[in-house]
Structure 1
Amino acid sequence: MTITAAADGSALGNPGPAGWAWYVNDDCWRAGGWPHGTNNQGELMAVLDLFRATAHIPQEDLRILCDSQYVINSVTKWMPGWKRKGWRKADGKPVLNVDILKDIDRELVGRKYTFEWVKGHAGHDLNEAADERARAVAVAYQQGVAARSGPGFPGAAAAAEEPEARQTVAVRQASSFSEPNGVDELDLFGGLDSEGPGSAGEDSAGEDSAGAGSNGSGPFSEPDLFSELGTDVFAATRGRGPSAEETVEALERELLRPDVRSDIGRTGVLLHPDFVEIGSAGRIWTRDAMMMSLEESPAGPVDLDVLGADRIGSDTILLTYRSYSRSGTALRSSLWVLDGGQWRLRFHQSTPEA
């Protein structure tokens, strides 16, 4: 069987409130977005989520209808060369949106797929349906209201609940209903302070002209995050140096620093791709929404007292602690997982103390 789906993205202002969506039919589609992003990021994220949503049926052919030549060329033509060059373009500049592209590259392994270009806004039923849903999410972020995330792909949520499966679908479905504004409820890393803010060739402007700089410091770049720690924080995974528990505590302390919270490249490395937070007001935050909001409002310094660092599995540690900031104290839980040799934050929850 061949699965035919349209994937599309939308950004109001480009960059601005952004959304993405893929669509098979009215009973099979998904959408999400960010408070601040670009159209190309939305287009790429729609493709990535489609691959993830169908990962439980890798034997099926996937036919992806896309109105973005940038996305099609990135995946089918340019990516092999970018990888050989260390994810740099022919002119030596870093590839934009590299984190999403790397994730797509991983999802392609073992999959059977084809891309087909369709003209946007030309009455193509599937493309119009995907565009409508992507734009609805962007508008929802612009207006500060909840957006519909869709039913997802049949069977995907059940597969995600299996122990060895990627646990992305159920989390992201819930996360799509998070409200984008209201930084006073951004709990992660001491964000309770209420002073918040408010188609082309490889080397052409077909890549995002805003939202990520050519120096690789954009929202999905991966700099040398831990160089300032003065030690190899991942040495524990190789049997020497600090323990895994000490490593996780050091990384949590890194995330308490305003300069780290405001650096979207750093938070992009520390936060797991499937990161989610449940804030004290019940709001659910996705990784991308969290990264953007922390960049805009990193809040003041925060200190912590560790209450416990407990091994839940060989590659999972639950860190509990009390945080101190000018907004008060809070009890916090952070779930860290070992992902590709790196400890990354998968889940966070905070409860302010009276």
Structure 2
Amino acid sequence: MSERQTVDVFTDGACLGNPGPGGWAALLRYGKIEKLISGADADTTNNRMELMGAIAALEALTRPCLVRITTDSQYVKQGIQQWVARWQANGWRTSDKKPVKNQDLWERLIRATAPHQVEWFWTRGHSGHEDNERVDEAARIAAATQTGVTQTGNA
């Protein structure tokens, strides 16, 4: 079997209000090739946009890869690495028997990771990590498109 290609991914989500207009972005890097993707939703939450950044990046890949995803969302990283298996075993219920929020996106993220070997990394948001800052700005711009207001710089 041939060695899997390695793709580095940086993701972020943003919400102008929570809930409110939101945007997500992902930077995919394979060697020297980069692709920045983004999207938006008129009425969403920050956590949904954080999940969508990772989902969209994985869904954009056309063949199985080793994917190294860096996010500033502990919700996404801990959710996929620690919580999802327990939620599934409990019928998508939390430890206090409440329905898991964003189940639709967690299930989509599970499907999107399936063909790949995925490694998850966390970086502190707004800490000067160049690639995280790029996707943060792209996500905020995407969110602003839902309001008709252009937003740049730090929120």
Band the TM-score falls in, shorter-chain normalisation: 0.7 to 0.9
Q: Check whether the contact 1:24–1:126 (CA below 8 A) recurs between aligned residues.
A: no
Alignment partner, residue 89 of structure 1: 94
Correspondence list, 1:301-340, <5 A: none
Shift, 1:106, TM fit? 1.5
Alignment partner, residue 7 of structure 1: 11
Alignment partner, residue 75 of structure 1: 80
- Identify the structure with bigger relative contact order (alpha carbons < 8 Å, sequence gap 6+): 2
Alignment partner, residue 47 of structure 1: 54
**Count of residues paired in the alignment:** 143
Alignment partner, residue 131 of structure 1: 136
RMSD: 1.5
Q: Deviations over 1:58-111 (max 9, x none)?
A: 1x2100000010110111110011011111111100000110111111122231
Percent of aligned positions that are identical: 36
Alignment of 1:21 onto 2:28:
no
The SS at the match of 2:146 is helix
Shift, 1:5, TM fit? 1.3
Alignment partner, residue 115 of structure 1: 120
Shift, 1:24, TM fit? 2.9
* C-alpha distance 109-27 of structure 1, shift in aligned 2 (>3 A): closer
The SS at the match of 2:134 is helix
Alignment partner, residue 103 of structure 2: 98
- C-alpha separation in 1, matches of 2:10 and 2:50: 10
Alignment partner, residue 143 of structure 1: 148
Q: Which runs of 5 or more residues in structure 2 are unaligned?
A: 151-155
Q: Check whether the contact 1:5–1:22 (CA below 8 A) recurs between aligned residues.
A: yes
Alignment partner, residue 341 of structure 1: none
Alignment partner, residue 64 of structure 1: 69
Greater percentage in helix: 2
Question: Which amino acid in the other structure matches residue 42 of structure 1?
Answer: M
The SS at the match of 1:100 is helix
Shift, 1:122, TM fit? 1.0
Correspondence list, 1:245-324, <5 A: none
Runs (4 or more) in structure 1 with deviation over 6 Å come to none
Alignment partner, residue 30 of structure 1: 37
Q: Check whether the contact 1:82–1:95 (CA below 8 A) recurs between aligned residues.
A: yes
Question: Which amino acid in the other structure matches residue 47 of structure 2?
Answer: N
Q: Deviations over 1:278-309 (max 9, x none)?
A: xxxxxxxxxxxxxxxxxxxxxxxxxxxxxxxx
Q: Which runs of 5 or more residues in structure 1 are unaligned?
A: 146-354
Question: Which amino acid in the other structure matches residue 75 of structure 1?
Answer: I
- C-alpha separation in 1, matches of 2:34 and 2:77: 26
